Amino acid sequence: MKRALVFGGSGQIGTALIARLLAAGWEVHAVSRRPRTGLPRVQWVQGDFASMPVLPRAIDAIYSAGPLDLFSSWYPTAPMDCPQVVAFGSTSVLSKRAATDPGERALAQRLFEAEAQLREAAAAKGCAATLLRPTLVYGLGRDRNLSSIAALARRTGFFVLPAGATGLRQPVHVEDLAQAACAAAEGPAGMQRDYALPGGETLPYREMVARVLAALPSKPRLVELPSPLFRLLLAGARAGGVLRDLPGGAVARMREDLVFDDAPARRELAYAPRPFQPTAAMFEVSG
């Protein structure tokens, strides 16, 4: 039986990944900062990158579905020989490189450095490294994008967008990411690869939001406001303590296309992401 070591296994992508590994017959060792129990063939160990618990020496694949920078700093010191490492990063490494918001630029730089560190360490160990960069993730109700939109719309009965929010998006379901991550661990020894993992449909931001709202039983309304009015409303909401963690560039980006090519992943990982057909359950916490 093949054995995987998973970081971030309690997160939204990690939950889908572990389910997929188990279905494929793998034994899973998973590291969490909290004590956890659960499924047969999953052995949870408590720890974090600053104080790593004792880990098994014989591992067929290491997966990172948590913070990439922390994983990449730890990985060079990993005590086991392992032929494959598969790590989730983000398309933000590309899309936020020239962002106006300094925090977003810093995130892109952190991801860039983490990717480089991981590739270098994997090459030194003679290990195959695959970096997977998802776009906007949904599926288990635990994302901070579409599920937050759904939660706000459920509470208020409507959701407000600025007019012209037509930038293209490719929301991706966690189970499609899990499929790609499992396929990546079958890659050739010593290879260094990275893949964008967008969803199976490219659609304008406003249409993506409209589909989320249409999936909810209460059918909240989509309200589109002229930009100056929207900015005023947003400033008022922020002053009232709502949407304070919305990054500075988020609204402007609703007009920008964030589109990535999935052809390499389709070709080499048999990646076949589903079109965006959300159901209400996908925005309720599960898994």
Ligand X SMILES: NC(=O)c1ccc[n+]([C@@H]2O[C@H](COP(=O)([O-])OP(=O)(O)OC[C@H]3O[C@@H](n4cnc5c(N)ncnc54)[C@H](OP(=O)(O)O)[C@@H]3O)[C@@H](O)[C@H]2O)c1
Query: What are the residues binding ligand X (CB under 6 A)?
Result: 8, 10-14, 32-34, 48-49, 65-68, 70, 88, 90, 134, 136-137, 142-143, 145
Q: Which residue is nearest to ligand X (CB)?
A: 11
Instruction: Identify which of residues 38 and 83 has a Cβ nearer to ligand X in the complex.
Output: 38
CB of 116 to ligand X, least distance (A): 16
Instruction: Identify which of residues 32 and 130 has a Cβ nearer to ligand X in the complex.
Output: 32
CB of 179 to ligand X, least distance (A): 15
Instruction: Identify which of residues 25 and 37 has a Cβ nearer to ligand X in the complex.
Output: 37
CB of 29 to ligand X, least distance (A): 13
Instruction: Identify which of residues 143 and 230 has a Cβ nearer to ligand X in the complex.
Output: 143
- Between CA 100 and CA 109, with CA 103 as vertex, the angle to 5 degrees is 90
Instruction: Identify which of residues 65 and 128 has a Cβ nearer to ligand X in the complex.
Output: 65
CB of 202 to ligand X, least distance (A): 16
Instruction: Identify which of residues 12 and 170 has a Cβ nearer to ligand X in the complex.
Output: 12
CB of 147 to ligand X, least distance (A): 10
8 A C-beta contact, residue 234 and residue 133: no
CB of 186 to ligand X, least distance (A): 20
Beta bridge partners of residue 81, listed in sequence order: 58
